Amino acid sequence: MNTTSTSAVHAEAWLPDTWFGRFLGLGNGGLGGCVDYVNLDYGTSLHFAAVGSDNGHDGDSGSVFLNHPEVLNDFAFRAIHVEVVIGKQIVEAYYGRPHHKSYYLGCSTGGRQGTQEALKLPEDFDGIVAGSPATNFNNLLGWGAILGRFVGAPDPTGNPHFIPADLWDTVASEVLKQCDGLDGVEDGIITEPDDCQFRPEAIVCTAGQTTGCLTSAQIDALHEIYQPLFGTNGELLFSRYDPGTEADGNAQAYFSGSIFSIPDDWFRFTVLNDSSFDFENFDLDTIELGDRVDPGGIQTFNGDLSTFEARGGKFLTYHGRRDQVYRFSILSKNVTYEKFQANVQLNIQTLSMPSLDSFYRLLLIPGMDHCSGGPGAAAFGQGGIASNVVNASSNNVLLAIVDWVEGGVAPDVIIGTSTDGQTRTHCRYPQRSVFHGSTFTCET
């Protein structure tokens, strides 16, 4: 489908023989331009007519955006709407009747796309599941690049702040030693990372010690990493890297000594339009430039969901508390719930707390990595990757949003399942998951 004379979106529709009258649009991940076949299969297994697109380009490189502003616009905001408009036409032509409700499922970039839809195109979907949404996109990717710079990227050779992979295991062990028990049980999961005030100096090398410890320069790097990132004028650009997310090799996304590929491509090919940019020159000014340029209007940070709310739309967000790619950036002890609402674009000028509850839920998932995986009970119907998904609305966010839209039953909790079959109840924000002897319960 041509979107302009220089851009096009390719989409694919999977149409089940047994259709329950529901349409499902799918998002993408990273800078990716790949049809989400896993979730096309997942959606049709639940009797949705499912449609996914390539987001306006092939592959997962950002090089396609260089000097191609319309391709960038497809990625930033247009592709999902195109897949919805054309997809609904295909569905009606195939079944001989229109859909009766329309849903969306996506995580990371897909979560940002779902948020953008609710803000700018509120007629497209009745229910949206937007996981780990990459809103505040430019600052998020700038923060990702700065994290690498803290340890010497793009060339850490001889840099005293660089932390090799084996020492990240030492860091991860110390984080758990200090913070795993804060929730009342030592299970390898930090339920509330906001409560963890990690003290890296506990593992500084002492006289004569050369293994299992860090130098003072490496400790300085950790202090930079585990605190919020502020701009040149003292404004908050992005929140800290959460203690606990560095476990199981996850730290290598940002701290391998190279700039993480997604921020590298984004700043190189869209913000700066300079394929030869040297990331030795990347700094706070570069991040602030990205925020000003806002390529394709991708920031997905300012807006108003009142139109989506007024037409009866329901919006559900989830985020892993061990997300190694980015944290839910506004959750900290010094941020009010009103500020939280503002940062997820919820028009606090007109929406009271009861109004917010009438159409929005945030579920925080202890022990879950980026979108899925990790030691926690991280399978709850958010996608087709996990083989242990339970297809009941109490255990499945996609079916839960259906119950909310069509039956008026809002999800207060969701039950997740871990890889070993254990279950755990996940709470909606601002409730907290509190351990009582043998189980976790949700408390305000």
E-strand ranges in 267-354 read: 314-320
Is 108 one of the catalytic residues?
yes
What is the rounded CA–CA span in Å between residue 165 and residue 127? 42
Is 126 one of the catalytic residues?
no
Nearest to 225, CA basis, from 159, 163, 134: 163
Is 323 one of the catalytic residues?
yes
The DSSP result for 15-69, as a single string, is --SS--SEEEEE---TT-B---HHHHHHHHHTTEEEEEE-TTSSBS-GGGGTT-H
What is the rounded CA–CA span in Å between residue 318 and residue 316? 7
| Active-site pick, 54, 124, 291, 323 | 323
Residue 313, both tokens:
């739309």
24 strand-pairing partners: 50, 103
Neighbouring CB atoms inside 10 A of 241's CB total 26
| Active-site pick, 7, 53, 102, 108 | 108
Helices 137-150 & 284-293 angle (0-180, nearest 10): 170
Residue in the block written with tokens 């996914």: 52
Residue 155's identity, in one-letter code, is D
Query: Phi and psi of 439, rounded to 5°?
Result: -150, 160
Query: Phi and psi of 122, rounded to 5°?
Result: -65, -10
Residue 311's identity, in one-letter code, is R
E-strand ranges in 40-187 read: 48-53, 101-107, 127-131
> Which run of H or of E encompasses 225?
helix 216-225
| Active-site pick, 68, 99, 370, 426 | 370
Query: Phi and psi of 268, rounded to 5°?
Result: -65, -45
R_g over Cα of the chain:
22
What is the rounded CA–CA span in Å between residue 328 and residue 428? 14
For the chain, report the end-to-end CA distance as a whole number of angstroms.
48
Active site residues: 108, 323, 370
